[in-house]
Each structure stands twice: as C-alpha cells, then as structure tokens.
Amino acid sequence: MSLNPLRNDSDQLEKLAIRLSAMGGLVEHQLSSAISAFEKRDISLARQVIDGDKAVDDREVEIEQMVINLLESRRLSGRNLRQAIMAMKAANTLERVGDLAKNVAKRSLITSQDNAAETVASIVRMGRISLRQLHDVLNAVQERNPDIAVAVWGGDQEIDELFNSIFREILTTMSRDPSRISTGTHLAFVAKNFERIGDHATNIAERLYYSMTGDQLDNKRPKTDITSMTVITGKSEELQGEPQLS
C-alpha cells in the first residue's frame, strides 16, 4: 500500500520543526556558555564554546538538506511552503548566532587577562538580554505563536540603548588611557556581537510571523543603535547625524 504523499510531507515538516528546535536549543546553550565564559573569565568554558561550533554548522546543513528535499517534492504551498522556507532561513540565522557566540568566546580568552570589571558587568547584562530575546523567539517558533514573535520583534530597543551606553563608556576609557585601547576594542566587539544577536532574534521573529500569517511585519522597526555615527574628537565623543530606521 502506497503512502499518502501529502501526509508524508506533513510528517517531514514535523521532523523539520523538531530539528530546528534542537538546533535552537544547541545555539542557546552555546550563547549561555559564551556569556558565562566571558563573565567568569573561564578559559576552559570558552574553548568548549569554540569547539562546539561545528555541531551548530552541521545542524544547519542537515536542515537545509531537509528543506531542499521537501521543495523537490513540488507539493508544498501556502503555510506549509512558508514554514519550510522559514526553517531554512531561521537555521541560517541561528548558525550566525552560533558564530557570534564563538567570537565572544574567542575574545574572552583575551579579555580574561584584563581588569575591566564594571564594563564587563554591563556587557554581561547586555548578553543576558540578547539570550532572553533568543530564548523567547525560539519559544515562539516551537509554539508557532506569532504574538510572541511580535513581542520579540518590538523588544530590540533595550539592547540598542544599552549598547550605545557601553560603547560611549569604552570610547571614553580608551581616549583617557591609550593603554586600554586593545582591551577596549575587544570589549566593544563583544558588546557588538550581543547587539547583533538581538537583531538576529528579531529577524527570526519576522520570518516566523510571515510563515504563520502570510503578512510581513512593518520593516521600519525603530533602530536606536547610534554607534556608527560616533566619532572621537580629542578626549570626547560626538554624534553625527540622526538615528536611522532599519
């Protein structure tokens, strides 16, 4: 007796959702570990995060192949088609989050040798906010809940504002003490990685919302990261231009 091809596609979509959820859990663990390694100056944990990145890459390849197999069936349409495309794009975004977590871990190997407790505490707070954003959007994907996706999409401003504050603090420190430039640069990149992770969480939220509703979220989401317009003039920093929408 032959299998119902539509039922088979439904089964494959469910397996795809399970694989995406597993990948999300792995990336969330990687990010959590990277934050802990950075905060506690734990070199061993940082190396574990770096070594664990290949597993994330492998999950992305697996999900991409599953989606390609589904698309080759030429039977998907409507929400099922959007769901498959969303899974592939979300997996790609999660792979980037994994790369950012690995980058945080790599820079932790350097910043662990310096004493910048106050700045580190602020960056850790930022990292935990980005982790919360990622956790929430992964829950939205698992529950297929567009309302949670909207909440994540609109919650990126807190990370941006904290990043602006941290970036100013780092620039001020470097301008006053040139010996802090090397460490300050690494700290700024760690903070930027967390800011990017927040952006990636909102991107997944946008894709989930479209997959569930067929509608696009307003693409003029307020973006309050103004560090690209910050310049150092002597011993102070100034802003040029106005915040842009992205």
Instruction: Determine, yes or no, domain membership for 232.
Output: yes
Instruction: Determine, yes or no, domain membership for 246.
Output: no
Instruction: Determine, yes or no, domain membership for 92.
Output: yes
Instruction: Determine, yes or no, domain membership for 235.
Output: yes
In three-state form (DSSP H/G/I as H, E/B as E, the rest C), the secondary structure along the chain is CCCCHHHHHHHHHHHHHHHHHHHHHHHHHHHHHHHHHHHHCCHHHHHHHHHCHHHHHHHHHHHHHHHHHHHHCCCCCHHHHHHHHHHHHHHHHHHHHHHHHHHHHHHHHHHCCCCCHHHHHHHHHHHHHHHHHHHHHHHHHHHCCHHHHHHHHCCCHHHHHHHHHHHHHHHHHHHHCHHHHHHHHHHHHHHHHHHHHHHHHHHHHHHHHHHHHCCCCCCCCECCCCHHHEEEECCEEEECCCCCEC
Higher pLDDT, 20 or 158: 20
Give the range of the structural domain holding residue 143, as residue numbers without chain letter.
5-239
pTM recorded for the entire structure: 0.85
Instruction: Determine, yes or no, domain membership for 106.
Output: yes
Instruction: Determine, yes or no, domain membership for 107.
Output: yes
Q: Yes or no: say if 162 and 227 are a contact pair by the CB < 8 Å rule.
A: no
Instruction: Determine, yes or no, domain membership for 245.
Output: no
> Residue 77: its pLDDT value, please?
86
Q: Tens of pLDDT along 121-155?
A: 999 999 999 999 999 999 999 999 999 999 999 88
Q: Tens of pLDDT along 6-32?
A: 567 788 899 999 999 999 999 999 999
Q: Rounded to a whole number, what is the distance in angstroms from the first to the last CA of the chain? A: 53
Domain of residue 175, CATH code = 1.20.58.220
Structurally, the chain folds into a number of domains equal to: 1
